[in-house]
Amino acid sequence: MLEESVGVQVSVVVPTFDEAANVAELLRRVDAAVGGPRTEVVVVDDSTDDTADIARRTAGSLRSEVVVIHRAEPEGGLSGAVVAGLRAARGAQCAVLDGDLQHPPEDLPRLLAALDGVDVAVASRYAPGGAAVGLSGWLRHGVSRTTTLVTKAMFPTRLHTCSDPMTGFFALDLGRVDLAELRPKGFKILLEVLVRRRRRIREVPFAFGARTGGSSKASVRQGLWFLWQLADLRFGRMSGFALIGALGAVANVALVSVMVALGMAFLPAAVIAAEVTMVVNFLLQERFVFGDLIPGAESTRRRFLRSFGFNNAESALRISLAWWLVSRGVLHSAIATALTLALAFVARFVFHALVVYRPREDARTTVGSPSPGS
């Protein structure tokens, strides 16, 4: 067993979520295409059905070694599953394909061969010779084409040679990709790999097939995650902070307007709205903006106290200015609130990034490399 493990040259990572209807056939077809004693298949399973059990039972009849990782508490969605598989992979060459059989395993040999001399080989639906017949209906075709065009427009240099950065079917040389720099979220991990730094890319056309079993995992929620991922990759951490701040600002203005309309004086209404949005913003920022910095930062209690203290001090100054503008009749209460919130944004972001989530002294050497825009 040890000699076989040392000799693994090719790893195939398959993220699965409720693919009990497909996983056995998928494993058999992968094994037929690239299987052997130097190939391993890493199934990273986030399922609520018996996908993992079926994969384990099927493994005994295959030439390749099958490693099944069942994540009871999935993190990072499909992208997180792929990164977990890449970290567990032992082969120098690693291919990734979905577990729904829409990515034909028979194309794996061509995809892996295309890695020669490049960092990433991309199986493209839109390269000459490719097809996207598995996208059901005009709406999914339209959404796929539109998101691809928007994505390429946002990263015109790094995606210049890639016609299908949204595909989940690709291969990479693990010696040329630093997994520590990836911040997986959503379901478009290839996009993250390609834009974190410049890569040498080669495309292989393939026909995206129709699903044969189970149901599609595409959803509005995944679409929103994709938009979040795109903004984060293009504009960095500040984009997430700005989005949460904008939502908090809208909620703040709405709360102030409602309380003033109900007869409350502007000053107490502004104070109550500020305190509520501070707490909510902190919770959202912890989850969506600074989550990767939390392991090296101070405790949650210390982070909250620093954030809450700074925001209250900033709010006291901001509300005083807004109150003066309203009381002197310079601006309407809603406009004054919105304007002063905008002025406070930069100060809040700088303080949170450099102080609230500053790494502890004992953690500075272990925190992962920052991503673009961090």
Q: Is the pLDDT of residue 20 over 70?
A: yes
Distance of alpha carbon 150 from alpha carbon 349, whole angstroms: 27
pTM of the complete model? 0.62
Burial class (CB in 10 A: 0-12, 13-18, 19+), 73: exposed
What is the band of 290 on the pLDDT scale with cuts at 50, 70, 90? Answer: confident
Split at pLDDT 50, 70, 90, the class of 374 is very low
With a cut of 50, say whether residue 169 has pLDDT above it: yes
Distance CA 356, CA 374 (A): 14
Q: What is the pLDDT of residue 211?
A: 58
Predicted pLDDT at 9: 93
- Both tokens of 140, joined, read 């999914």
Per-residue pLDDT averaged across 32-36, rounded?
A: 94
Do 359 and 291 meet the contact criterion of CB atoms below 8 Å apart?
A: no
In which band, very low, low, confident or very high, does the pLDDT at 259 lie, cut at 50, 70 and 90?
very high
Task: Give yes or no for a contact between 77 and 184, defined as CB atoms under 8 angstroms apart.
Answer: yes
Tell me the percentage of the chain whose pLDDT exceeds 90.
42
pLDDT recorded at residue 248: 86
Question: All domains of the chain, ordered by start, with CATH?
Answer: 2-215 (3.90.550.10), 236-363 (no CATH)
Q: Is the dihedral of CA 95, 98, 101, 102 positive or negative?
A: negative
As beta bridge partners, residue 43 has 14, 68
Alpha carbons within 13 angstroms on the beta-carbon side of residue 258 total 8
Tokens (6 digits) for 219: 């959803």
Question: What confidence tier does 314 reach under pLDDT thresholds 50, 70, 90?
Answer: confident
Mean pLDDT, to the nearest integer, of 360-374? 46
Length of the chain: 374
Check whether 62 has a pLDDT greater than 80. Answer: yes
**Rounded distance between C-alpha atoms, residue 178 and residue 71, angstroms:** 23
Q: Which of 165-174, 269-278, 345-354 has the lowest mean pLDDT?
A: 345-354
